[in-house]
Amino acid sequence: MSSNEVPQQTVPEVVAATAAALPDHIAIIDGDVTLTYAELDSARITAAKAFLALGLEHGERIAIWAPNLYQWIVAAIGAQSVGGVLVPLNTRLKGPEAAYILRRSGARWLFTVPEFLGMNYPAMLRGEDLPALEGTILLAGDAGGAQSWEDFLLSGARVSPAQLEARVREVQPGDVLDILFTSGTTGKPKGVVTSHGQNIRAFATWGATVGLTEHDNYLIINPFFHSFGYKAGWLAALIRGARIVPVQQFDLDTVLAQIDREQISVIPGPPTIYQSLLSHPRRRDYDLSSLRLAVTGAAPVPVSLIEKMRSELGFKVVVTAYGLTESCGVISICRPEDSAERISHTSGRAMAGVEMKCVDAEGNSVAPGTEGEIWCRGYNVMQGYLDDPIETSHAITSDGWLRTGDVGVMDSDGYVRITDRIKDMFIVGGFNCYPAEIENTLHDMPGVTRAAVIGVADERLGEVARAYIVPAAGAELSEEMVIKWCREQMANYKVPRSVRLVSELPMNAGGKVLKTVLREWSMAEQV
């Protein structure tokens, strides 16, 4: 079956179908835990029953705030099998940031872990106003007052197979699958609503395009809370029958050992991952001969890197892709046969079933080779922003085109090159950063009158935040104080790596900060 002929499906149908076709094939290897596809399907059913015992109704939300664990996948597909809606939380969020998303989504239950990267997630939520949240279940670790994953699963024993089957049958391809929160120019995270059918079609198409198969061992370094690790990660693997090998935290020696031990063939991720592998001094101590497919993006990919990925890391296929959370995570993709130059200089062409064009300020298509805003239309475009028809109408035209906010140039073959970002977004090590969100937080800091943020070049992470701050009269602020305060208030990838204290910010006649001037100031420092 070609990617254009993928029928409308639901997550429970996909997992059950893969389990029926490949029952003894290994689905997940996570440390000491190995699950075949038959065992994963059984775990999904057990979790689904537990959700029914918990009282989860069709369309209600559950949140997951945890690193890449096999339980993450089981919880997600268990809830989705009975009509539950998944709300993933970024593992680097601080308590107030996570609480905002929990409130906004109305999640009834939170699945988390007691500690990750030195942060205690349950403790970070203490004192937060979470009126819809009924309980917390720990996927791993000491329960300590919260329900354990094991007890949660046991609770489903009283749910009959008939009750479960009735609920599974209610789930339709057009039902909401997940709500992923993404920031925008307003600075407040917005919930992107997408369905079962559109995600499954998108990543069946994605998997077929890049050549993912049931013979692949798929190392998923990208976090599960992000569409790259979730949708282009384990969901694509479930659709194609590949073996999932999750990585909780990127550690070079651990990853190299996993590639060797598990005969990893597929690694997707931002360019920094491959650059790190190439620069490791003991790389040749490991057997990397199994590497076959790399899917990269989220930052420019130099031709030299692609060539080294092929010649030194042994990848047979390297492709780049482009997408937004609002497009189920994917719009365009290079093809395996494309040249290193095309893969480096473009983000591919629209995937099957999706239209893409560049337009001028009035929304008219521009000629090939002419810069314009990138728009896309197709089955992958979100249903809308959660409970926000105004922002949805700003993002999607009346005839279904998604305004990406990115500026690019399309060639005569339909390949697009991203040249700028209307929304001022910049990317830190693969994570999207929105200046308005960071600025809103900075304005809460005592002693700050005004703040503006831009992205500046960084050798390791691609770009990082730089804050320009106007202190209040009499305030004693320093770069160190601001950075320290930010580390306590926001995810670490958002934290400004440098701060400039200024007497005033450059403004236009309408009172808007001129980010172009700030970038000029930043460039002048490098001269």
CATH of the domain at 189: 3.40.50.980
Q: Cα dihedral angle (50, 152, 246, 78), rounded to 10 degrees?
A: 10
How high is the mean pLDDT of the chain? Answer: 92
Q: How many angstroms separate the CA atoms of 54 and 61, rounded?
A: 12
Domain contains 80: yes
369 belongs to a structural domain:
no
Helix (H) or strand (E) holding 487: helix 479-489
Please say if the pLDDT value at position 128 is more than 60.
yes
Q: Which domain holds residue 44?
A: 3-249
Q: Is residue 231 part of a domain?
A: yes
The CATH number given to whatever domain includes residue 481 is: 3.30.300.30
Is 176 inside any structural domain? yes
In angstroms, the CA 245 to CA 512 distance is: 47
Tens digit of each residue's pLDDT (9 = 90 or more) over 221-260: 999 999 999 999 999 999 999 999 999 988 899 999 999 9
Residue among 246, 249, 281, 298 at smallest CA distance from 461: 298
Which segment, 177-186, 316-325, 512-521, is predicted with the most confidence on average? 316-325
Which of 249, 280, 314 delimits the end of a domain? 249
Domain closes at, from 215, 234, 249: 249
Structural domain includes residue 470: yes
Tokens read off for 362: 């009035």
The residue-averaged pLDDT of 29-52 equals 98
Specify if 395 maps to a domain: no
Q: Looking at 249, 283, 307, which one is the last position of a domain?
A: 249
Is residue 315 in a domain? no
Q: What is the mean pLDDT of residues 278-283?
A: 89
- The count of structural domains within the chain is 2
Reported pTM? 0.85
Q: What long-range pairs does 418-422 form, CB within 8 A, spacing at least 24? A: 418/322, 418/347, 418/374, 419/371, 420/371, 422/373
Asked if the structure places residue 270 within a domain, the reply is: no
| Across 359-376, average pLDDT | 94
pLDDT digits (tens, 9 = 90+) for 156-177: 999 999 999 999 999 999 999 9
Residue 4 has pLDDT above 50, yes or no: no
pLDDT at 1 (0 to 100) = 37
Is residue 6's pLDDT more than 60? no
The whole-angstrom separation of Cα 92 and Cα 89 is: 9
